Amino acid sequence: MEQRTFHTWMRNALLWAALALILGIAAAWPLTGFTQCVTALAHSLFFFLSLFIFFVVLPRYCTLPIQIFIAMLTGALLGWLYTAFGYAPVITDYLGIFGKLFILLLKVVILPLIFVSVLCGVAGIGDVRKLGGLGAKTLCYYFVTTAIAVLIGLSVVNLLHPGVGRETLKEDVQEQNVSLQDTGVPSESLGTKIQKHVLPAIIRNPIMAGQSPVVVIFFALLLGAALATLGKEGETALHFFQALDKAFITIIMWVMKMAPIGVFALMARVLSELGPAYIITLAKYCFTVLLGLGLHFFVLTFVICPLLARISPWRFLRGMAPAFQVSFSTSSSSATLPVTIRCVSKRIGADESICRFVLPVGATINMDGTALYLTVASIFIAQVYGIPLSLQAQLMIFLTAVLASVGTAGIPGASIGLMSIILASAQIPVEGIGIVVGVDRILDMSRTLINVTGDSVGAVIVSRSEAGEAHNTHAT
**Which of 364, 370, 394, 456 touches ligand ASP (CB under 6 A)?**
370
Name the minimum Å distance from CB 453 to ligand ASP. Answer: 11
Q: How many residues does the chain have?
A: 476
Task: Return the range that interacts with ligand ASP (CB under 6 A); candidates 169-177, 328-336, 383-391, 431-439.
Answer: 328-336
Q: 285-304 mask for ligand ASP (x: CB under 6 A)?
A: --------------------
Name the minimum Å distance from CB 146 to ligand ASP. Answer: 12
Beta strands in 78-157 (DSSP E): none
- Smaller CB distance to ligand ASP: residue 425 or 448? 448
Name the minimum Å distance from CB 400 to ligand ASP. Answer: 15
Dist CA 204 CA 104 (whole Å): 7
Which of these, 362, 337, 328, 325, lies nearest to 448 by C-alpha position? 328
**Which of 451, 453, 456, 463 touches ligand ASP (CB under 6 A)?**
451
Name the minimum Å distance from CB 349 to ligand ASP. Answer: 25
**Which of 272, 333, 340, 378 touches ligand ASP (CB under 6 A)?**
333
- Smaller CB distance to ligand ASP: residue 410 or 434? 410
Q: What residues from 390 to 429 belong to the interface with ligand ASP (CB under 6 A)?
A: 408, 410-415
- Smaller CB distance to ligand ASP: residue 53 or 293? 293
- Smaller CB distance to ligand ASP: residue 333 or 420? 333
Dist CA 189 CA 435 (whole Å): 23
**Three-state SS at 22:** helix
**Three-state SS at 476:** coil
Judge contact between 205 and 107, C-beta under 8 A: yes
Name the minimum Å distance from CB 471 to ligand ASP. Answer: 34
Q: How many CB atoms lie within 10 A of CB 209?
A: 11
What helix, strand, coil percent values describe the chain, rounded to 5? 85, 0, 15
Task: Return the range that interacts with ligand ASP (CB under 6 A); candidates 277-285, 391-399, 423-431, 440-448.
Answer: 440-448
Name the minimum Å distance from CB 67 to ligand ASP. Answer: 17
- Smaller CB distance to ligand ASP: residue 83 or 364? 364
Instruction: Check residue 432 and report its DSSP letter.
Output: G
**Which of 332, 340, 446, 463 touches ligand ASP (CB under 6 A)?**
332
**Which of 331, 345, 400, 453 touches ligand ASP (CB under 6 A)?**
331
Contacts 24+ apart (CB under 8 A), 171-176: 171/386, 172/273, 173/273
Name the minimum Å distance from CB 226 to ligand ASP. Answer: 27
- Smaller CB distance to ligand ASP: residue 16 or 324? 324
Name the minimum Å distance from CB 410 to ligand ASP. Answer: 4
Which of these, 171, 22, 124, lies nearest to 334 by C-alpha position? 124
Q: What are phi and psi of 429, to 5 degrees?
A: -55, 130
Name the minimum Å distance from CB 417 to ligand ASP. Answer: 9
- Smaller CB distance to ligand ASP: residue 333 or 378? 333
Q: How far is CA 143 from CA 22, 148, 238, 362, 469, in A?
A: 52, 9, 24, 10, 22
Does 362 bind ligand ASP (CB under 6 A)? Our answer is: no
Q: How far is CA 160 from CA 132, 380, 393, 442, 465, in A?
A: 43, 10, 19, 20, 38
- Smaller CB distance to ligand ASP: residue 219 or 328? 328
Q: How many residues bind ligand ASP (CB under 6 A)?
A: 16
User: With left for phi above 0 and alpha for psi between -120 and 50, is residue 412 left, alpha or beta?
Assistant: beta
Name the minimum Å distance from CB 447 to ligand ASP. Answer: 5
**Which of 273, 444, 455, 466 touches ligand ASP (CB under 6 A)?**
444
Judge contact between 450 and 340, C-beta under 8 A: no
Dist CA 195 CA 397 (whole Å): 27
- Smaller CB distance to ligand ASP: residue 65 or 386? 65
- Smaller CB distance to ligand ASP: residue 444 or 466? 444
Helix (H) or strand (E) holding 108: helix 96-125
Name the minimum Å distance from CB 404 to ligand ASP. Answer: 10
- Smaller CB distance to ligand ASP: residue 145 or 370? 370
Judge contact between 116 and 220, C-beta under 8 A: yes
**Which of 154, 447, 453, 454 touches ligand ASP (CB under 6 A)?**
447
Name the minimum Å distance from CB 451 to ligand ASP. Answer: 4
User: With left for phi above 0 and alpha for psi between -120 and 50, is residue 390 left, alpha or beta?
Assistant: beta
CA angle at residue 168 from 437 to 199, to 5 degrees?
A: 50
- Smaller CB distance to ligand ASP: residue 44 or 146? 146
Burial of 167 (0-12, 13-18, 19+ CB in 10 A): middle
Using CB under 6 A as the criterion, which residues of the chain lie in contact with ligand ASP when the complex forms? Answer: 331-333, 367, 370, 408, 410-415, 444, 447-448, 451
